[in-house]
Amino acid sequence: MAKKPLILVINDDGITAPGIRTLISIMNTIGEVVVVAPDSPQSAMGHAITVNSTLYVEKVTIDDGPQTEYSCSGTPADCVKLGVKEILKRKPDLCVSGINHGSNSSINVIYSGTMSAAVEAGMEGIPAIGFSLLDYNWNANFEHTRDFIKTITENTLKQGLPKGVVLNVNIPNVSKKDIKGIRICRQAMANWEEEFDKRKNPQGKNYYWLTGKFVNPDKGEDTDEWALANNYISIVPVQFDLTAHETIKHLNTWNFND
C-alpha cells in the first residue's frame, strides 16, 4: 500500500470550530493529519502575520481521532509557517483550510483568513485548498459537504496543482441532493458597500461598527457567485502573483524619466 499523504489542516475560526472538526474527520479518511490552528477566531485577518509579538503553540487533544493537533496564538498564515517550518518533520503533501463558517467567494477571498492559509501554503510549494460553507452560524450543518470535499481533495492529491495556484472552494448551504455538481469558476467582480453604524460608548465617545451589504454587478455565468446561486459548488483557482501583467506595457508609455 502506498504511504499515506501527510495533510496539514488549518482554519481561521479557531481549532474548536465545527467546520475544522468536520474537515479533520474527512482528512482522517485520506491521510495522516496534523492540525495547526488558531486558539481563537481569526476571521477577516487577511494575510496578516505576527512579526512584532510572540507566538505560542501547544499540543492539544480535542477529540479521539487519530490526528495530531496544535493550537497556536497566531494568525492562519502564522499557523502554516509554524506547521511547515517548526512542527512537521517533512513537507506536507497537501494543506487544507476551513471549513470556513461563511462564504469566501468573489472579493471575500482578499479578506479571508481561510484563504490566506491556503495561499501561504501555496507560496511554500504545497498544494492547498480552502473550503468554505455559505453558512455563518457556529452550528452550521457540514454533513452534506463531506463527499464533495473528499472528491476535491483526492483529485488534488492525484493531479497536483499548477505552480503558484491554490483552490478556493465554496459550498452552497443546501441539502446534498440539491447540489447540482462542481464548477470551475472565476472570481465574480463584486464588492461590499460598507456602512458604518455610529454609536456612543458609555463614556459618550463615538465609535463605529463596520457593516455592509454585498453587491454583485457581475452577471457572468462563469463566476463563483453564479455557480453558488445556482446550487453548484464553486472552485476558483487563486494565484498569488499579484502583478497585473497586461498593464506593464501601458505604464511604460508614461515616460516618468523625461
Q: Segment 201-240, which members bind a second copy (CB under 8 A)?
A: 201, 205-210, 222, 235-240
Among 31, 35, 81, 121, binds a second copy (CB under 8 A): 81
14 belongs to the binding site for a second copy (CB under 8 A)? no
Site string for a second copy, 136-175 (x = CB under 8 A): ---------------xx--x---x--x-xx----------
77 belongs to the binding site for a second copy (CB under 8 A)? yes
The minimum distance between CB 64 and a second copy, in angstroms, equals 26
46 belongs to the binding site for a second copy (CB under 8 A)? yes
126 belongs to the binding site for a second copy (CB under 8 A)? no
3-state secondary structure of 193: strand
The answer to whether the beta carbons of residues 128 and 118 sit under 8 Å apart is: yes
The minimum distance between CB 90 and a second copy, in angstroms, equals 16
The minimum distance between CB 125 and a second copy, in angstroms, equals 9
Q: Which is nearer to a second copy, 61 or 206 (CB)?
A: 206
d(CA 68, CA 81): 17
Cα–chain center distance at 212: 21
189 belongs to the binding site for a second copy (CB under 8 A)? yes
52 belongs to the binding site for a second copy (CB under 8 A)? yes
d(CA 8, CA 83): 7
The minimum distance between CB 232 and a second copy, in angstroms, equals 10
Among 116, 145, 153, 170, binds a second copy (CB under 8 A): 116
Phi, psi values for residue 116, rounded to 5°: -65, -35
Tell me the C-alpha to C-alpha distance, in Å, between residue 69 and each of 76, 139, 184, 233: 14, 22, 32, 29
Facing residues of 166 across strands?
Answer: 238
User: How many binding residues for a second copy (CB under 8 A)?
Assistant: 76
Q: Which stretch binds a second copy (CB under 8 A): 13-21, 29-37, 77-85, 170-178?
A: 77-85
Strands, E, within 76-205: which ranges? 94-101, 128-133, 165-171, 181-184, 191-200
The minimum distance between CB 185 and a second copy, in angstroms, equals 8
Q: Which is nearer to a second copy, 138 or 208 (CB)?
A: 208
Q: What does the CA dihedral 68, 72, 74, 75 come to, rounded to 10 degrees? A: 40
Q: Which stretch binds a second copy (CB under 8 A): 1-9, 30-38, 49-57, 63-71?
A: 49-57
Q: Which is nearer to a second copy, 65 or 154 (CB)?
A: 154
**Kind and range of the H or E element at 245?**
helix 245-251
The answer to whether the beta carbons of residues 81 and 202 sit under 8 Å apart is: no
The answer to whether the beta carbons of residues 98 and 15 sit under 8 Å apart is: no
250 belongs to the binding site for a second copy (CB under 8 A)? yes
The answer to whether the beta carbons of residues 121 and 154 sit under 8 Å apart is: no
d(CA 133, CA 126): 23
